């Protein structure tokens, strides 16, 4: 393991380190690390992943904690979606000038539905099936609640 830097996120400290065996960057909660003695050989520093270590830790930590994951096509520019979400809620990738993909998650599909509704943009969800079913039930409930007399 080649430690790079400790980062504070979500009221916890995380160590960003290069895992020699996996040949990839990893994050570790500092409170769960047991130091070893001797500490090991010296190594030259590597280029950090993605430049912004706080954003990197946010994406890695929040994604690992989610029980339900979704990849949603949002019919809005990526910059507009990024303005409306916290990096802990998901990541945004532009598809073109007017469409992007939001990769997000939550502990429940109900929470996912709330986050998507609060975006205030049209979106397409194809999976997970539980989220699709929940959104359909919500759409029917909302339609019933606004019937004209």
Over the stretch 80-112, which tens digit does the pLDDT of each residue have? 999 998 776 778 899 999 999 998 888 899 999
Percent of the chain with pLDDT over 70: 90
Domains and CATH numbers, the chain: 2-62 (no CATH), 66-145 (3.30.70.250)
Q: Are 54 and 9 a contacting pair, CB within 8 Å?
A: yes
CA–CA separation, 27 vs 1, rounded Å?
11
CA–CA separation, 149 vs 142, rounded Å?
15
- Residue 114 above 90 pLDDT? yes
pLDDT at 94: 94
- For the segment 111-119, the average pLDDT, to the nearest whole number, is 92
CA–CA separation, 105 vs 20, rounded Å?
29
- For the segment 72-81, the average pLDDT, to the nearest whole number, is 96
Q: pLDDT tens digits, residue range 49-74?
A: 877 777 777 666 665 667 888 999 99
pLDDT at 80: 96
Closest CA to 99 of 130, 76, 124: 76
pLDDT at 1: 83
- Residue 10 above 70 pLDDT? no
- Residue 128 above 70 pLDDT? yes
Specify the 3-state DSSP secondary structure of 83: helix
User: Which pTM value belongs to this model?
Assistant: 0.62
């Amino acid at each position: 393991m080649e430690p790079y830097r400790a980062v504070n996120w979500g009221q916890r400290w995380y160590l960003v380190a290069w895992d020699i065996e996996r040949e990839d960057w990893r994050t570790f909660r500092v409170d769960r690390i047991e130091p070893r003695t001797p500490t090991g050989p010296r190594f030259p520093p590597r280029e950090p992943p993605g430049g912004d270590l706080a954003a990197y830790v946010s994406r890695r930590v929040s994604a690992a904690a989610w029980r339900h994951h979704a990849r949603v096509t949002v019919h809005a520019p990526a910059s507009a979606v990024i303005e409306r979400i916290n990096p802990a809620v998901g990541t945004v990738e532009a598809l073109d000038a007017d469409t992007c993909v939001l990769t997000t998650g939550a502990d429940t599909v109900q929470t996912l539905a709330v986050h998507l509704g609060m975006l205030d943009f049209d979106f397409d969800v194809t999976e997970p099936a539980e989220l699709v079913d929940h959104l359909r039930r919500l759409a029917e409930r909302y339609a019933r609640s606004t019937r004209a007399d």
